[in-house]
Amino acid sequence: MAPHASLDATTERLSVLDEDELASLDAWWRANNYLTVGQIYLMANPLLREPLAAEHIKPRLLGHWGTSPGLSFVYAHVSRLIRETGQEVLYLTGPGHGGPALVAAGYLEGSYTEAFPAVGTDAEGMRRLFRQFSAPGGIPSHVSVTTPGSIHEGGELGYVLVHAFGAVMDNPDLVALAVVGDGEAETGPLEGSWKGVSFLNPARDGAVLPVLHLNGAKIAGPTVLARKDPAEVRSLLEGHGYDVIEVEGGDLPGMHHRFAAALAQAWGRIRTIQAAARGGDWDGTRPRWPLIVLRSPKGWTGPDVVDGVQMLGTFRAHQVPLSTVRENPDHLRLLEEWLRSYRPEELFDDDGSPTELVRRANPAGPLRMSATPYANGGLLTRPLDLPDYRDHAVDVPRPAGIRLESTRRLGELLREVYSANPDRFRLFCPDETTSNRLGAVLEVSDRGFAERVTEADEEISRDGRVMEVLSEHNCHGWLEGYTLTGRHGLFATYEAFAMVSASQTIQHCKWLQEAEALPWRARVPSLNILLTSTAWRNDHNGFSHQGPGLIQNVITARGTISRVYLPPDANCLLSVADHCLRSTSYVNLIVIDKQPQLQYLTIDEAAAHCARGAGVWEWAGTDDGAADPDIVLACAGDVVTMETVAAARILRERLPHFRTRVVNVVDLMSLVRRRDHPHGMDETLFLELFTDHVDVVFAFHGYPGAVHQLVHGRPDADRFRVRGFIEEGTTTTPFDMVVRNRVSRYHLVMDALNNAHRTPPGSSELMAWCEERLAAHEEYVVAHLQDMPEVRDWVLPDPAERGPA
Ligand SMILES: Cc1ncc(C[n+]2csc(CCOP(=O)(O)OP(=O)(O)O)c2C)c(N)n1
């Protein structure tokens, strides 16, 4: 850290742009704007070596011009800061629809060609660059996975700050510069994400520098923040804890000078805060981090008036300011004038490569924002130092004989993970770490908090690294930013409220899926999501807390990178968690409840079962390995597994000659055909488990449709009768929940009898008995406000005492 005097001197020097710097910086910006317009419009004649003609214009004009010049303007200035200071910067574009500007930045910096050698820095390369943009067989129009230097697509607006904050956690040398669109700033997630500063530790974390880009308009109208009194905007941001620096205008070169000064001030402030915190000169209060409000015209430097209509500075500049260019000679002329206004002859040499004047504006090597390893986080990843999960195993002397809280064991494992990895593992949770029985982590790390801490608070401090904020968007987004920059973590949330951030989950799946195809993108640690406090056991809560929908979302968008695990007990959970923490570039959902639950497998059995993904539990069934049992009772999910094991027990006791096979599924994706998902079990194993003709009664944790979706295409998939959550819920007893949703042990027994190919003697009596027990349950819960002892305290009897097989 530079001492204050030299820091002040650097800041002062940075705040003044001399003529040479201005010339180069402005040339770089013009070159970027030229390449941006070229990408949107041209498919030939990239350097305008001949007069522009209709055949040079793309048939479909797709892309977003309006935001782009603002993005590249900021980028150019940050590059200068980097060159002058050596500061490492990750650039995140909230309005990711400004993709061409970021592609152009990578192209000018040379990293685009490094990633895609076919797009060289010459005339032919530029033609390809233009032609491929927003085109079939080419690249998407947003700041997508294919854009070097990006960890943030910005397609779905709202997440730029959460990604930025996640990226800087435990990255003390990094500044994440996040451009926030003023339309984007109207979204719920973005509005909630200003609070990130309340969780940053200036000694240990890097800094986020938001640039709120008030270009005034969205797609079709004005933005709230641009039309507010600037004093109100300032108050809002100051209220969140920022030190607001404002820059406004469209005049040149005035804007260059003013922005250079603003950026210098912001950077100086960041370094001053960090120097104080890291040098021991910090009283622990939350710093006021700088934030730049940039007011510049939408479509800056583009066409002013088109067909008599104001374009520049309005919503009309959002996408393509000039339409029907092929067909309209006036528009063609305007486009040519627009492109030539950047004076391409000063920007590109005869061979088409950027001139020295332009290249001078680039930082070097990995300091180029398009080449920063922070945006290709797998390059920086150090695997977790993982303790042996077996050390936390539950002693299971016999299946289904004891109950305990499985997630508590996971908490103990995570405590060890925290201790062994003090700089690269974090747990993110919306205020539920203890509630979710993961509180053991708080023995080794507080919850991180930069605001005022009082005597009454517990396990909260500015040094804490367990991240709790009551915002699923923040938790999820922080973890994404954290893992995309190469570190590891887990997002633990109430199952129902994972739907709040479901869209982020899906977007992240898309990102990882696309990244698989890019050899230069190194694999990153997986995004691990623990869904607990599940639909079936919301004892304090009710219907609003009962929603297993995320499973459905993830399997529907499954691609090849999503994984869904439903460990039935603690030892399986430990094995699954160990696997997920070691894995890379997946989205792993782990679903298990936090309440005391039956334990089935020893740690060795659990490890083998989880490795297989699904297996027969011989001890629970009565088919003794017969090729054709009367029924297969399958289950996936903790509570429904208990009901299945209990149902099998009832059948064993009451119909000893009825052959049941119990199959438990931990890895949900194993049900899918192998050709459709890498985890799909091969046909032979599928037949071993489910046969090709015996009916299967499947008790599932989530919505029944999910299993039908997964087994589609398997032999005779119609024989799967699936029971699961059917939106029958309320605040009630655990057993009443399974009864209401028709997945109780009694329902499963009846389903088994109804679907078996033969009807053994005694079946009708057993059906009647099940109906009678369900009626007894109805009466009992209302009268006693708890479940009948026979279900409440049910365990599988000792094998010695079991009934005949
Ligand atoms: C969550 C979400 N809702 C809607 C859209 C559709 N959309 C794309 S761009 C845009 C306007 C964005 O305005 P702003 O953030 O100000 O960006 P800029 O003006 O800089 O283009 C909208 C509504 C989206 N991409 N994401």
pLDDT digits (tens, 9 = 90+) for 296-347: 999 999 999 999 999 999 999 999 999 999 999 999 999 999 999 999 999 9
| Ligand 1 in reach of 548 Cβ (< 6 A) | no
**Protein residue whose Cα sits closest to atom 22 of ligand 1:** 219
Sign of torsion, CA 54 57 61 66?
negative
Checking if the pLDDT of 435 tops 90, the result is: no
Residue at 278: amino acid letter: R
Q: Which atom of ligand 1 is nearest to the CA of 318?
A: 21
Using a cut of 0.85, tell me whether the model's pTM lies above it.
Answer: yes
Once rounded to an integer, what is the mean pLDDT over residues 348-376?
97
Checking if the pLDDT of 803 tops 80, the result is: no
| Structure tokens, 597 | 């639950």
Matching residue, tokens 């009367």: 630
Is-contact 568 662, C-beta < 8 A? no
Is-contact 580 623, C-beta < 8 A? no
Matching residue, tokens 């200071």: 85
Q: What is the pLDDT of residue 801?
A: 61
pLDDT band at 789; cut points 50, 70, 90: very high
Q: Which atom of ligand 1 is nearest to the CA of 97?
A: 9
Checking if the pLDDT of 805 tops 50, the result is: no
| Ligand 1 in reach of 182 Cβ (< 6 A) | yes
Checking if the pLDDT of 4 tops 80, the result is: no
Sign of torsion, CA 549 555 556 557?
positive
Q: What is the pLDDT of residue 633?
A: 98
Residue 291's nearest CA partner among 255, 249, 242 is 242
Q: Which atom of ligand 1 is nearest to the CA of 98?
A: 21
Matching residue, tokens 């049941």: 660
Average pLDDT, the chain: 96
Residues 6+ apart with CB under 8 A from 4: 272, 275
DSSP string covering 345-393, please?
HHHB-TTSPBPHHHHTTS--GGGSGGG-GGGGGGGT--------GGGG-
Q: Which atom of ligand 1 is nearest to the CA of 155?
A: 25
Segments of 94-205 assigned E as strands: 174-181
Checking if the pLDDT of 3 tops 80, the result is: no
CA distance 339 to 333: 10
How many whole angstroms from 315 Cα to the centroid of ligand 1?
11
Q: What is the pLDDT of residue 5?
A: 79
| Ligand 1 in reach of 156 Cβ (< 6 A) | yes
Sign of torsion, CA 132 136 141 147?
negative
pLDDT band at 716; cut points 50, 70, 90: very high
CA distance 715 to 683: 9
| Ligand 1 in reach of 67 Cβ (< 6 A) | yes
| Ligand 1 in reach of 140 Cβ (< 6 A) | no
Q: What is the pLDDT of residue 431?
A: 86
Q: What is the pLDDT of residue 469?
A: 97
| Ligand 1 in reach of 316 Cβ (< 6 A) | no
CA distance 430 to 67: 33
Checking if the pLDDT of 799 tops 90, the result is: no
| Ligand 1 in reach of 97 Cβ (< 6 A) | yes
| Ligand 1 in reach of 186 Cβ (< 6 A) | no
Residue 699's nearest CA partner among 725, 680, 681 is 725
Instruction: Please choose from 162, 180, 218, 311 the residue to mutate so as to test ligand 1's pocket, defined by most ligand atoms within 8 A of CB.
Output: 218
Among the listed ranges 2-16, 466-480, 570-584, 743-757, which one has the minimum average pLDDT value? Answer: 2-16
pLDDT digits (tens, 9 = 90+) for 137-175: 999 999 999 999 999 999 999 999 999 999 999 999 999
Q: What is the pLDDT of residue 1?
A: 41
Residue 805's nearest CA partner among 691, 662, 602 is 662
Once rounded to an integer, what is the mean pLDDT over residues 763-769?
97
Among the listed ranges 3-12, 118-127, 203-212, 644-653, which one has the minimum average pLDDT value? Answer: 3-12
Checking if the pLDDT of 35 tops 90, the result is: yes
3-class SS shares of the chain: helix, strand, coil, % to 5: 45, 15, 40
Once rounded to an integer, what is the mean pLDDT over residues 16-26?
97
The pLDDT > 90 percentage for the chain reads 93
CA angle, residues 189, 429, 150, in degrees to nearest 5: 50
pLDDT digits (tens, 9 = 90+) for 253-298: 999 999 999 999 999 999 999 999 999 888 989 999 999 999 999 9
| Ligand 1 in reach of 224 Cβ (< 6 A) | no
